[in-house]
Amino acid sequence: MNQIIKLTGIEAFGYHGVLPDERKVGQTFIVDCELEVDAIQAVLRDNIEDAVDYGAVAELIHSEIRGEPVNLIEVLANRIATSILHKFLLVRSVEVTVHKPSAPIQVPFTDVSVTALLTSE
């Protein structure tokens, strides 16, 4: 039995980007994450040991945003998704969207985002 866990709006300050000012000044990044998890044991036993701790997932995402800078948010999204798959063995697939609402774009816009979708297989 698979279930979906969604985490929305995890926010942290990071220094990702191609431009020197992005690396020096930094900016806020926001991440949404959807996990498809094997939930059979969690449902049967009602025990956190048999579930994916979404608090720990949120902390991992926050840490990755604040971590080593990368040029592209494509890389950041993939790095977060890969980390989740490696650390949380009950995760079957993960979709990570990195939002960069303060991207250096010269026209009015609301958001820029990139989504990475990875499976454990």
* pLDDT tens string 69-112: 999 999 999 999 999 999 999 999 999 999 999 999 999 999 99
Give which of 31, 21, 25 is closest to 60, Cα–Cα: 31
What ranges do the domains of the chain cover? 2-119
Can you give the pLDDT at residue 103?
97
Catalytic residues: 100
The CA-CA-CA angle for residues 56, 60, 63, to 5°, reads 135
With beta carbons less than 8 A apart as the criterion, state whether 12 and 77 touch.
no
Q: What's the token pair of residue 71?
A: 């040029």
Architecture of the structural domain at 2-119: 2-Layer Sandwich (3.30)
Q: Quote the mean pLDDT of the chain.
A: 97
* pLDDT tens string 6-18: 999 999 999 999 9
**Judging by beta carbons within 10 Å of its beta carbon (0-12, 13-18, 19+), is residue 85 exposed, middle or buried?**
middle
Q: Which pTM value belongs to this model?
A: 0.96
Can you give the pLDDT at residue 119?
97
